[in-house]
Structure 1
Amino acid sequence: MGVTKKILVTGANKGIGLAVCEALLESYSETFVFLGCRNTDLGNRAIKTILEKNPECENRIALIEIDVTDDTSVQVAADRIRKYNASSGPNLFGIVNNAGIARSDSGPDEVLEVNTMGPKRVIDHFFEILQPDDGRVVNVTSASGPNYLSRCDRMTREILTSESVSWNQIREICSDYVRKYNNAPARVKTQLIDDVYGFSKACTNALTMVQARLYPNLKINACTPGFIETDMTRPMAARHGRTPAEMGMKSANEGTYSSIFLLTEKSVGSGFYFGSDCLRSPMDRYRSPGDPEYKGQ
């Protein structure tokens, strides 16, 4: 079978992003993967790692330099893929917005730029080269988003779970968070830094609903990969004096299931958030894997 589905994965030089690229190449022979990352040296090493295990995939993977916090970088990446499509068949089938960071010493701005503004920026620039019917977008978020909303103030929770939420509302809530941080005493700043990851993922879940309304012919969903051992989560285990396994972290490969499901499942809807077990989950409270699927109540 020839290549019929081209898929971009951001933040793909390691961890879950790299594992998604490997899973697509190994299990879906119709796919071509654009491995997206900021650093081309790291990206080339990642591709070398993949091809050492799967040399037959050499003609089904390419490196795309992309910094999701930079409009110019994202536009250049989109232009490069547009040119590739012009010479090699179908448009981009899917995007996995996987790039993310847990925290930044500089404050909440950088976390929000990567985790929330990044997926918005990518779709804004890539929409025109996505397949117009049944193209897929997966925003990789986290159960930290629903956990954050389950304990935040009522107004934030209501806005970020409203099916009619607008991008302007999301952007203003993000700006309010940054202003609160900038004006806060040290103790409160520490808490806001601890919370910004979950807050950013809650905002990206809300963004997913906005994008699904804007692009009704696409299937755009968010998902948590689960509690996965990555460079982002290992420090958490270290702070608790435990190993990742003792913390219950799973492998990067296990973190691919929900993203792959949303890329490949024919009957999936749009504008929803899914758990690591590939079942729809609420955006404002945690649903454990294995619990009944959320029906929108």
Structure 2
Amino acid sequence: MMPLHILTTLLLPLTNHALASHTAPIVTKSYLITGANKGQGLALCQRILQEHDDTHVILCSRDVARGEEAKKSLLDTNADYENRVNVMQLDVTSDSSVSNALSDVQSMLAYRKLKLCGLVSNAGILWGYPLPELMEVCATGVKRVLDAFVPLVEEDGRVVVVTSGLGPLMHQYSGAERQSAMMSKDCDWNVISSMMKECLDAYASTGDDDLSARIDAFNAIHFPGGPFADTAPDFHMYGLAKMFGDAYMKVVARRYPKLRVNSVDPGLVYTDLILRMPKYAGKEMEETTAQSPHEGVEATMRLLFDKDAGKGDESGKLYALNKEKTELMFSDIDKMPQKQ
């Protein structure tokens, strides 16, 4: 007969495995992230899966092949993620793409008995793009995503729009009537899109090489860029698009008072977005002051999972970590939280 101590040694791993399988949390909570095939979006998917083992992520990518590559990179870190990740084709600039993704997400959630507990509008572009493209991705794209998927989010769920500190800066530079219109409780997409059209018309009225004329055109409609207008016009245009995206976030927050709907400024993060900028082109992360993508999504993670973050009167706000990266702070969309 086999000695008891040997039998116990052989059975212990099986017992532990069975116990682990029995006690593993049931995956019920799904989180949809746009622009998730790289950078902050992919880092966010990874952190959600690593830190919350009852979660599932919908990894949205404009290019399905890149989305599948991103999923593979997640599986390379943990093969158990196989059933916790679904890749979804989603181009935030396309009505039909968003509509098709909505239908597929609804079917998938129902089939897998998952609840959509969080939505992150992360897809974005930054440097070197004309204003029409920036508006389409960072403002109208935000509207498409929120209009489609926010109605699916469970009560008290979280909605996060990834923004930039340039949004509130451009808000502050704007004329008083413009600021008032964006902060008004009567602000809606009609108000926002009308202002966007004025900006697009001003942009189209000047040549790409005539910076002086562009500055005059935006001053005339009370959307100046402050010091960025001539020193970094890309930031002026990008900041305007982010400002309008934040304004629509507030509209949605008012529309869904039982949800927590907020924008977040991650700060400077080392991704493809900043590597297009001359200041950072060709530099390794250690040569910059940028955070890693893993670090850059910390504020978003807190908005998605911290018990009290973004709740009640603290919904419809702009969030960021303090300078020490320890505390989540918030303000309205017309200023940066760290400067309260």
TM-score, length-normalised on structure 2?
Answer: 0.79
Partner of 1:265: 306
- Partners of 1:160 and 1:223 lie apart in 2 by 18
- Partners of 1:177 and 1:108 lie apart in 2 by 9
State which drifts further: 203-212 or 17-26.
203-212
Q: Cα deviations across residues 34-79 of structure 1 (Å, max 9, x unaligned)?
A: 1001001111111111110121211100100000111110111111
Match of 2:147 among 119, 124, 137: 124
Cα–Cα, structure 1 residues 281 and 45, in superposed 2: closer, same or farther, change >3 Å? same
Partner of 2:62: 38
Match of 2:294 among 250, 253, 274: 253
Q: Residue type of the partner of 1:254?
A: E
Partner of 1:76: 100
Partner of 1:88: 112
Q: Residue type of the partner of 1:6?
A: S
Cα–Cα, structure 1 residues 103 and 179, in superposed 2: closer, same or farther, change >3 Å? farther
Partner of 1:175: 197
1:114-193 → structure 2 map (5 Å cutoff): 114-131=137-154, 133-185=155-207, 186-187=210-211, 188-189=213-214, 191=229, 193=234
| Structure 1 residue 280 corresponds to structure 2 residue 330 | yes
- Partners of 2:149 and 2:280 lie apart in 1 by 39
| Structure 1 residue 27 corresponds to structure 2 residue 51 | yes
Partner of 1:7: 31
Q: Larger % of helix: which?
A: 2
1:26 aligns to what SS in structure 2? helix
Q: Residue type of the partner of 2:160?
A: V
- Partners of 1:285 and 1:6 lie apart in 2 by 32
| Mapped contact 1:104–1:110 kept (Cα < 8 A) | no
Give 1:246 shift: 4.4
Give 1:104 shift: 5.1
Cα–Cα, structure 1 residues 41 and 241, in superposed 2: closer, same or farther, change >3 Å? closer
Give 1:150 shift: 2.6
| Mapped contact 1:223–1:276 kept (Cα < 8 A) | no
| Mapped contact 1:104–1:111 kept (Cα < 8 A) | no
- Partners of 1:276 and 1:101 lie apart in 2 by 22
Match of 1:61 among 54, 76, 85: 85
- Partners of 2:135 and 2:281 lie apart in 1 by 26
Give 1:201 shift: 1.1
For the pair shown, the structure with the greater C-alpha radius of gyration is 2
2:173 aligns to what SS in structure 1? coil
Give 1:214 shift: 1.1
1:36 aligns to what SS in structure 2? strand
- Partners of 2:203 and 2:147 lie apart in 1 by 28
- Partners of 1:243 and 1:149 lie apart in 2 by 32
- Partners of 1:213 and 1:135 lie apart in 2 by 14
* Pairwise CA RMSD: 2.1
2:329 aligns to what SS in structure 1? coil
- Partners of 1:54 and 1:48 lie apart in 2 by 10
